[in-house]
Structure 1
Amino acid sequence: MIPYVRREKIMDELENKQMMYIEDLMKIFDGVSESTIRRDLKILEDENHIIHLHGGAVKLKLDSYEIPVGTKKLLYKEEKEKIAKLAASLVEDEEVIYIDSGTTCTSMVKYIKATGVRVITSNIQVVNEANNKNIESCIIVGGEVNRNLESISGALTDATLRNLNFDKAFLGASGFGIEVGINTPDFREASKKSIVNANSKKCFVLTDSSKFNKTTLVKAFEIQECTLITSEFIPELDGKIEYLVAE
């Protein structure tokens, strides 16, 4: 594993557990020396992503970290593809759908088999994937470009989305759970998700199970307001919300 990807994986683990010890990280990265892990942590601290604590522990900075899209593609790839295929199978002929930012949402585009589908998106990557012959048209909303997330958001985006209605919406999330809801580190992304959820007949959130009970800065909406599509059965959610497992 190259150093950059290893550091992003460390950040992903910290998003799940909030605080970890060096010994915990060494168990995850089998064969990687303690000195290498310490060097990675020093780089992440210098980049202002983590805080060193007494006793060899580290935790995320309070302003929560968003992993770049390019790195997200490398994490939980198999699970994400299964989720994307299931999500695509829910699209019906001639529907107007919204596709959110995120690697899993992007992946679902190529699997859409319904015909005459119209796509509205704030995901820059979707434009490149929308050559699927079953997609009749693809509209990308205006706004501020976040190159790190390859997403468009902000006041202009929100104003546009408030005037649009969708048969189905497919959203991403940085974390989910009964108490933490559907959440994201970015206020603009949270606002966008909230508006789309309110304007959709049916809203699906696509997220692998590693994000269960992960808490980031902003709750976009309650988990009961959507149908979750995830990669594993989660006993804590059984009977409490509507969700699908991609197998």
Structure 2
Amino acid sequence: MIPYVRREKIMDELENKQIMYIEDFLKIFDGVSESTIRRDLKMLEDENFIVLLRGGAVKLKLDSHEIPVGTKKLLYKEDKEKIGKFAASLVEDDDCIYIDSGTSCTAMFKYIKARGVRVVTSNTQILNEVNHVIESCIVVGGEVNKKIDSISGPLTDDTLKNMNFDKSFLGASGFGTVVGINTPDFREASKKSIAKTNSKKCYVLADSSKFNKSTLCKAFEIQECILVTNKEIPGLKGISEYIVAE
């Protein structure tokens, strides 16, 4: 098993169990040495993705700063795919839509089946996903943040201010009734706010692990959008509109 696949499996296991021990991984990866597992875990810790505890314990680390998109792909993969696929089903023929940066937003692109769709995006990953059902794809200008595969800044904001969308699909680092829809980056928050304002409908794609997670910048209140997530969130019932992706 190649190292990337092994680390991906480690994250799958931690996603389900939250805390595990090195001995647990030795049982899962038959024939893999303890030193190899420790190297994998150290690499994931260096990427700020897990925490190594005393006694050989390991847990996920979901902190307040932006995680690199390459690492994000390992988190809650099935949930993000489910959310992305459902979000794509909301796109109708001839819609003009905005697709934000973020792994859940990227996941939706390949599932779009509606015809004649015009896409505006600040997500550099989407360039690899354009297919025949997309009538046109506009990538907005601005400063590229390679860490999160996103374009943002004053030029991006100025471009989006002059556009109108049938629907926007936004990512978020955290969401909640008090913390709103949030992100660690002022530029990302500004971009999301503009896209939301200029859209007839605004959907935020976020898995349930981000509920009540607070980062530096609130883009807007959660009541101003429709949340698409992966399971019921009792704390939002009667307060905010949300959809559980099936």
Equivalent in the alignment of 1:125: 125
Change (3 A) 1:158 1:90: same
Q: Does 1:108 align with 2:108?
A: yes
Question: Which amino acid is the alignment partner of residue 192 of structure 2?
Answer: K
Equivalent in the alignment of 1:199: 198
Displacement of 1:65 in angstroms is 2.1
Aligned partners of 2:156 and 2:148: how far apart in 1?
15
Question: Which amino acid is the alignment partner of residue 69 of structure 2?
Answer: V
CA RMSD of aligned residues (A): 3.6
Aligned partners of 2:207 and 2:22: how far apart in 1?
19
Q: Does 1:237 align with 2:244?
A: no
Aligned partners of 1:183 and 1:94: how far apart in 2?
30
Equivalent in the alignment of 2:55: none
Displacement of 1:236 in angstroms is 1.1
Corresponding residue pairs, total: 231
Displacement of 1:27 in angstroms is 6.1
Equivalent in the alignment of 1:65: 65
Aligned partners of 1:141 and 1:100: how far apart in 2?
11
Aligned partners of 2:93 and 2:20: how far apart in 1?
49
Provide the secondary structure at the position in 2 that maps to 1:111.
coil
Equivalent in the alignment of 2:54: none
Equivalent in the alignment of 2:31: none
Change (3 A) 1:27 1:217: farther
CA deviations on 1:4-39 (whole Å, 9 max, x unpaired) are 958x96xx99xxxxxxxxxx8446994489xx88x9
1:5–1:71 contact (8 Å) kept in structure 2: no
Provide the secondary structure at the position in 2 that maps to 1:176.
strand
- Identity among equivalent pairs (%): 65
Q: Does 1:95 align with 2:114?
A: no
Displacement of 1:104 in angstroms is 1.1
1:230–1:245 contact (8 Å) kept in structure 2: yes
Question: Which amino acid is the alignment partner of residue 71 of structure 1?
Answer: T
1:161–1:195 contact (8 Å) kept in structure 2: yes
Question: Which amino acid is the alignment partner of residue 72 of structure 2?
Answer: K
Change (3 A) 1:43 1:72: closer
Equivalent in the alignment of 1:208: 207
**TM-score, normalising length: structure 2:** 0.79
1:49–1:65 contact (8 Å) kept in structure 2: no
**Aligned ranges for residues 1-247 of structure 1 at < 5 Å?**
25-26=19-20, 30-31=24-25, 64-131=64-131, 133-247=132-246
